[in-house]
Structure formats: structure tokens, C-alpha cells
Structure 1
Amino acid sequence: MSIVDTISYELWDKDPEAFADQLGKNHKNTGFCGIQDHPIPEQMVSDSIEMFEEFFALSQDIKMKYFIKDIGGARGYTPYRIETAKGAKHADLKEFWQTGGSLG
């Protein structure tokens, strides 16, 4: 069993290049990592986790109201088997919510 690597946000202030290097390596190797010592208030983190637990517990019919076709999962809800990793033969068994700036 592998362990998810974590990076201290404090490294960003001390050595942004090293922070970016560690972040890039983690995303290349496993696709994700944890960030510790970040400035995000703990209450905001807890509230966000609770909100997403509630959302992902909804029925598929309700979640699909937030699925935006033709943008490849770039924003909103993306259900199981929509994305396929580069070079993979099978679609991903994950659902997720993507946020970000304007796509237009």
C-alpha cells in the first residue's frame, strides 16, 4: 500500500522552485498529494469536506443536473467512466467536482 506524500506550504515561501518540483513529481507519479501548513482556515476545510460529502451522497439523477457535457469534466460534476487516462484502455472509476476560473 502506498502512502500519499505531503508537501509543506511553508516551502513555497522558502524555495518556490523546490515546492513546484515536489508538486510536479507527486502529480506525475500518483496524480495528487497533500498540502500541509497551508493558510486555509481549518473551519473552511471542514465545511468544504462536509459539503462535498453531502453532494456525493445525492442520487445520480440529482448529481447529473450539474454535469456539463462537451467540456470533458473541466467544470462541475463529472460522473464515473467519463474520463480515460492517457494511454489507458478503460475509463476511470471515479466521480468528481471540478472548479476553476472562466473557460470563456
Structure 2
Amino acid sequence: MTTRHHTETLHGDRAPSLTIYRAEHDTIVAGLYTTSEAAQQHCEALVSREYPASVSVFFEWCADESDPAGLELDVCVDDERFPTGYTVTPLEVATVYDPDADE
């Protein structure tokens, strides 16, 4: 037998939510994080592996053209700027089930 308890929402009629950050390359998810900074660090670490240690790589985060809430990573190498395909996207995640959200 399953017992369910009704829980009141914390914000009136709206269920509480949490923002997480998805680090990804093109459509491949690299990880999910509770801060944008952690997601950015993961992307930067993955890009760093693509260059020899002798190459200076500078990272520049800018607004993602396809998702203004997100960020995309460009690198500067030898005074040239290149897109990397890495992005960080904020995602709102519900912390409780809201049966009215399906409608």
C-alpha cells in the first residue's frame, strides 16, 4: 500500500523551483551543476585538453545567440578568436510535482 501526503507549496500557488546549469558541447551534455561557475569550469577544462600545454588559451564567455539566458564559450589563441561549441544553459527544475503544470 502506498501512502501519499499533500504538501503545501512554499510560494502560494506556484511550486518552488531550482535553477541548475547544463554544461554541454553541441548537444552532448557534459554535466549538470548548481552554479554557472562550476559548469563554466567544466567546459574550460574540456577545451583545455584540446590544446598542448605550451599553448596559451584565453577563455571568453558571451551570450548564446540561440538562447539569450545561456552562455557560449569562445577561446582566444594566438590573437585569434574561435567558437568552441561549448555552452552553459540555465534550466529551471521543479522541486515538487505540480499536477496543474501538465495542463
TM-score normalised over the length of structure 1: 0.19
- Higher relative contact order at CA 8 Å, sep ≥6: structure 1 or structure 2? 2
- Structure whose alpha-carbon radius of gyration is higher: 2
Between structures 1 and 2, the one with greater helix share: 1
